[in-house]
Chains A and B, each alone.
Chain A
Amino acid sequence: MELSRRDFLKASAAAAAFAAAGAPLMLTGEVDAAEAGIKWGKAPCRFCGTGCGVLVGVKDNKIVATKGDPAAPVNRGLNCIKGYFLSKILYGKDRLTKPLIRKGNKMVEASWDEAMTLIAGKFKESIDKYGPDSVAIYGSGQWTVFEGYAASKLFKGGIGTNNIEPNARLCMASAVTGFMTTFASDEPMGCYDDLDLGDTYFLWGANMAECHPVLFSRLIDNRLKNPKVKIIDFGTRHTRTSQMADKYIKFNPQTDLALLNAIAHVIVKEKLYDETFIKNHVVFKKGKTNIGYGLEDKFKFTDDPKPMTFDEYKEFLKEYTPEYVAKLSGVPAATIVEMAHLYADKSRKVNSLWTMGFNQHTRGTWVNNLAYNVHLLTGKICKPGENPMSLTGQPSACGTAREVGTFTHRLPADMVVTNPDHRAKAEKIWGIPAGKVPAKPTYNATEMFRALDRGDIKVVWTQVTNPFQSLPNLNRYRKGARKGDGRFVIVSDMYPTKSTEVADVILPSASWVEKEGVFGNAERRTQQWFKQVDPPGEARNDLWQTIELAKRLGHGNLFPYKYVEKEIWEEYRKFNEGEGKDLAPYEAYTKARGLRWPVINGKETLYRYAEGYDPYVKAGEGIKFYKNKKDGGKAVIWARPYEPAPEVPDKAYPFWLCTGRVLEHWHTGTMTGRVPELKRAYPAAVCEMNPEDAKKLGIKHLQKVKISSRRGTIILPVDLNGRGKAEKGNVFVAFFDENKLINELCIDAYCPISGEPDYKKCAVKVEKA
């Protein structure tokens, strides 16, 4: 560890010299004076899934500065405005520093021993009385790999319940099921290099300008260099991304399904597809239709895939004529045809990029499948500069939630609990008796909190997330948590949040560089950092907290580690070896600015499934979707129809409500809200509304309005000409503001395949307040 630290510092010095040479704005004297006595270490940014590298400057056990890491390939020394203020997120005045236990209506300071004894007692009592499925842990795409791994091992391998879910269920689950159903392996084939190498970019439901700021500036630079570059933004709201795109195509919410089928329709009808590619790399399938919306408690769905021929698929596409879909979507038929030609243009390197518009969708899995369809039809996939790419929103949604598999149904490395061989492999690596890991998945995130509301789950522990602000149909779940009758909520966090409000025990957590960690970003890049400062007061690592519970429940034997992080890593790697998801030894990550898996013999992989890049693809194979063994190494084109949203605007609730982010804040604002500069830059949520709609209702800019759905009501000022411009019949509200819980209005309908709720569509009414 000592050695690697020294190597790292050497590398940093070299990188800093490189940066100084290229940075005329920095005056060397200034830097020297400011940097006296500061020790620099590396870390990935704490915020989104881009995974920018930063250098963390520490003096007297406090972070005094950060800077974009010039040696980090993701961002080459740049950050967005949130990344600029990283040094402040740990130092909010109301940082939690002591465990707190609820005594009546008061939260009373307690020792760790008292708190953990109480928690372990509640777990034991509940497990004894109601069985292991009455306790649960709800974690996060901000869990480090170690934290997620330890939680999964304890719950699945120790306690013997699949009651583990990450908040990534609310943001990435549809991307996962999209990848799994099309390629039988999670995570993208391409990487961020595609942003530099392609010339045609279709953005779908992605406000990259605000939500992936540094990647967006890379995309724009590509266009500055190459006049051929075109950026097409498909969306339901005119955003800062739309403003900078070459073309903004607005469509009616939910009709992305029909649009992608119409694009495929044109490609097939005009024979613009790549016949050889289809013959060699593609099979066709259809699944169930009319699959429901997960609105009822204990909703269950199992798809029933059936093979079909290319001709049958062509038949399926027949109804999606540009004219029919134009009526449905509001996009002119000629535009649909033009876009199909652009996708299929053989002289163009085409990429699709998407985020929550696709994933938070009651047909999220389908719409992911449909995007892949177009790339598979045209053979524009697995090549430098030509790939579909699902961008992620959390720093380790990929690295932890998806790769470690901290979902109820998952195990590490694409494995699932329903497969006996997968369970056996996990049991062997974990050194636990055969049959210990339960075969049946229990609850997705929404269902987990429904179970808490019903009382089927009694004890729930949340770590690194804020579900009591971020769940849809929030009123039900906030009330559910406080129903008593044996329910017990434990919240580990660094600050008081909307979730600590409903907690019975609050545990103060270490954050970011107050602990050692590994995150994995959206391009399969695994990034490690060391602990660089001590957490304040008695705050402790979530990893320590989980292992402490394990010890008290008699599962301490699962965690026999000395150097916990490194040993967990080496154990975790065993799951990935030989599975196309190989990871390097821990040492390698301590030095590198991240490595993109599979990493074999120290070499990272830029393009999965592609000969010459992916060592799993043999010479002469070209492209091989080798993870999809049951379809002979081919990818699947899915016939997925258009189906409407569960709740659409009507007379009583005439507007669509869409929620999302702004650049200045992240998620529920618990960190960015503690940075005074960011708070001042964007203090409170507003309701974006179309000026024509406002005029009809007699509502003026900045006037307060009451927005209501069937589930909740909030009052907000209206913004008629802000950064986002609502289309007619739509309103938009950001979800960061803890004083304006917009998620109370959202519907808790979810994609039956992915279990991911739709935060982008529900029906609301708007009245003068």
Chain B
Amino acid sequence: MPQTGVTRRRFLKDGVLMPLALALAGGSISALFLRSADARGFYLRPPGAVEEGRFLGACIKCGKCAQACPYNSIRMAGADAGIGIGTPHIIARQEPCRLCPDIPCAKVCPSGALDAKLENVEKIRMGTAVIVDRENCLSLRGLRCEVCYRQCPLIDKAITIEARHNPRTGVHSIMEPVVHRDKCVGCGICENACVRDKPVIVVMKSPPLQKDYYEF
């Protein structure tokens, strides 16, 4: 197993789950993850997309990336995207990015909105998968699900399993899928595969790294 452990998880918890929990308490649950991907406050852009502000400036809405995608994962945004109308994005629950090794979508981008020089899929950073609904996660309830983990294209890197005792039965372990933000590329395959009606693991915008006042 990769060396990850508490610090990274703590980071995820505080950096992603806490704001989420606050949002939940504030009643904006649907805005966060119960509607389509764009309702989460960000568009899941194709691999190699530059920072969103620059992306919107650079993208010429030519659709070449969508044409190059062999899985039809990339679609062009509609009018509800406002300024982003006609820009490419992915709705993971419908068809996630399958991480083609040669990244054909980025290769054909003529504008620089997608980094055509991107070679290694593990370097892609589209977002970060987060278990946003721990109560409804079957693995966390002790069931042997872990579909997100087994279908993760970066299995044992981006998602690992941490087993802990299940006090409910006394003889089983809870196999918890743990996302590692430094490895997760945000492809959305976990979100797509989740067996719940509403996926409990979804791709979120990666929170920016924060200034530390403490040496880890």
Contact = CB atoms under 8 A, between A and B. Distances in A.
Interface in A77-110: 77-81, 83-85
B141 A25 contact: yes
Contacts of A80: 143-145
B195 A217 contact: no
B155 A76 contact: no
B153 to A, nearest CB: 7
B144 A77 contact: no
> Which of the four size classes fits the interface of chain A?
35 or more
A723 B173 contact: no
B169 interface: yes
B97 to A, nearest CB: 12
Contacts, number: 110
B142 interface: yes
Given A224-B173, A240-B150, A79 B155 contact: no
A568 to B, nearest CB: 34
Interface string A212-239: 0110111011101100000000000000
A424 B21 CA distance: 72
B143 A78 contact: yes
Contacts of B79: none
B205 interface: no
B175 interface: yes
B39 interface: no
A222 to B, nearest CB: 8
Contact of B145 (A75, A76, A84, A723): A84
Interface string B174-203: 110000000000000000111110000000
A558 interface: no
Given A78-B172, A224-B163, A681-B147, A700 B102 contact: yes
B161 interface: yes
A81 B173 contact: no
B135 interface: yes
Contacts of B102: 700
A213 B146 CA distance: 11
A34 interface: no
Nearest to B121: A701
B123 to A, nearest CB: 15
Q: Which of the listed residues B140, B147, B154, B171 has the most CB atoms from chain A within 10 Å of its own CB?
A: B171
A680 B92 CA distance: 13
A314 B190 CA distance: 54
A721 B155 contact: yes
A84 B138 contact: yes
Nearest to B160: A243
A702 B98 CA distance: 9
A593 B113 CA distance: 61
A678 B196 CA distance: 10
Nearest to A719: B153
Interface in B124-161: 135, 138, 140-147, 150-151, 153-156, 161
B144 A663 contact: yes
A697 interface: no
Contacts of A210: 150
A721 B138 contact: no
Interface string B74-87: 00000000000000
A244 interface: yes
A33 interface: no
Given A25-B135, A80-B145, A663-B150, A678 B168 contact: no
A108 B153 CA distance: 46
Given A221-B165, A240-B150, A680-B193, A81 B143 contact: yes
Given A84-B138, A680-B193, A220 B173 contact: yes
A663 B148 CA distance: 12
B163 A220 contact: yes
Contacts of B138: 81, 84
A31 to B, nearest CB: 13
Interface string A112-147: 000000000000000000000000000000000000
A722 interface: yes
B172 A217 contact: yes
Given A78-B172, A218-B173, 11 more contacts: A76-B168, A76-B170, A77-B169, A81-B147, A240-B150, A678-B195, A700-B101, A702-B98, A721-B153, A721-B155, A723-B155
21 contacts: A23-B168, A75-B169, A76-B168, A77-B168, A78-B144, A78-B169, A80-B143, A80-B145, A81-B138, A81-B144, A84-B195, A217-B166, A221-B165, A224-B164, A663-B150, A678-B195, A681-B151, A681-B194, A682-B147, A702-B101, A721-B155
